[in-house]
Structure 1
């Protein structure tokens, strides 16, 4: 507020006891009240004023009211010019994030948070801006001393990507640019199409197209897919039954593709051998061969019989028949080897059609061969053929038949007879009688 007054001694006039006052106000358009009278439009000339104190009040919309007491002397003529002070308002600006530049009708005012306390009343354009964010311009009307408040969230002019992966630690490439490893927050991504790639040893490449908008905050949690592993299981001896995580997969060697990495339980089973099991760690994208060495828990038996062609039983289970030697004699057999016999005491039984059965016990040791000396079975005489001739009837055991039709039979144990083919009238087999098992020989 500026006040100027020029006082001077009045010239002689008709009434030297009265004063006058010429009042101007800036800006124009103000109203003046003088000693409570008025209002009068400025400028205003008050004359014939009694000497003494007088009150001047000047008002104008948008400006502070000016009040002034002036003392006039007799005969004074006073010019008075008043510059009115404009009214000001308050503006409080908050933004998210803080630190936004604020301009008022293009005039810089500072950064948020900001309080402006001396803004002339009127309408303004408030601009909020900051690098990396979309600027915003607002219209505000400061029409009183009542504070005006602005609260604005500014949108970044780029996108933000919140990124993680399972497992974490994957290498990040966005639009061909490396950004470290997950988890990661990547800011200031230009809006539009982007390509995200994640790499982790032992996992398939993760690739994802993204469409990001300015100001968008996108989130991606990538589930990485492990590259399958390959597991081959072999056994010594071969053909062990292979179980993976308690599921039967076949006889060794077994190859399993597309195995999930991690802890794998491998088990091998083979009759006559101890079960072997272990846990292995199968890495990602690995090719592993696991060897199972099985320890035998059985022994074997080797036996020769006299004659050959004897069926051998072990603990009541048939295990084979002794074979004839190359000379085709049935007196002594080839050795018969029976494997995978559980260790311990075992009962052996020998059975032949023309011999009395024999039983005995043997001790089988783990990993060893128990050899049984030739066992001779007591022969049972059972006639199997009857031959009729003109001179008689003969029954016995067929020994041999010649090409000329002659037949050799054993008529009694150790007594043989040859019958010429021309003498044979009738030849018929004899049905073997049901045999009552005799006490076995030792």
Structure 2
């Protein structure tokens, strides 16, 4: 009896190592032969377990008269599961091959470490691994301590969890270790205003402490002197000395006058000379005005002239605000006439008024014809609107008349000679009589 039992156990062991075959070849059966690169992989048809691969394959019988299978799935621990379509069902007594390659599942991960600024030394669980940016590979799944260290910056530390087949990221933003020095600033002359990196710090002589160790922009300002600038490099624990020799600004000989009128569009005169017109919503600026006292007149048709004295200082701008008042009804105005060249005759409404340059007063409000004439030049004429109580201006640029041609000029002497000959002949005749 024991002998029979041992034979039975032996047969069971032998059968366990033989590919699964539901029946012998032939009959109403065909076979799928699953080829696999891994032994011990479980095979499923349409989700139903049909056997385990052995010696690189597994034969699965199917009945040609039964419901055909369509999908295959192959699994083994430590490998990625394979899923796919089965080829067409084998015919009676035939074999259809199915080829499956299982890929191993990654069992390690990695950490990618970066730092700002870059170049920080990276330590993994206290062990130096390189300089950021850095990828640390082949790490078993788990939690690790990561530290970044760079000269001049505070160290930073974090924990990172690594998963199989995954890359974890660690980003370090390092904070600089602040270091300080001092800056001692003097100037000639003293009392200059001191600005560091655009911020006011005081007046010279001045010592600044707790200045961060880096480059700083220093600027000194003093009225009557050119601005003085430099860059100073501050080192931790060291005092830097700055001595500014200020250069005096030469006194300015001209200034400017900004003129605003209400309403706009008025003529602006400086010491009787027309400069331009104020614009709507803007300012007319008279530039390069000599230092001293000047007369400014603002004139606009229909309004009374506005006249004031202005003191101009070098390199400064003076201001004039003219609120023009309406001219009285029936009042007269004036016309200022000049010409280039000067010395021309002035006619207003064909009435002679004088020689340019000239201011014609007592002109009735309204439109008037102005003509300027000068021997050797073409007449110049225009129409001008004169407002009551205001001054209008006319500036004539005269054009020289063409000179006679050489041919015409040459005829005059011959004409004179001919005339003299005729007169002489007539006189001779009278004597004979």
TM-score interval, normalised by the smaller of the two chains: 0.3 to 0.5
Higher share in strand: 1
Higher share in helix: 2
Of structures 1 and 2, the larger Rg is shown by 1
Instruction: Give me the TM-score of the superposition, normalised by structure 1.
Output: 0.36
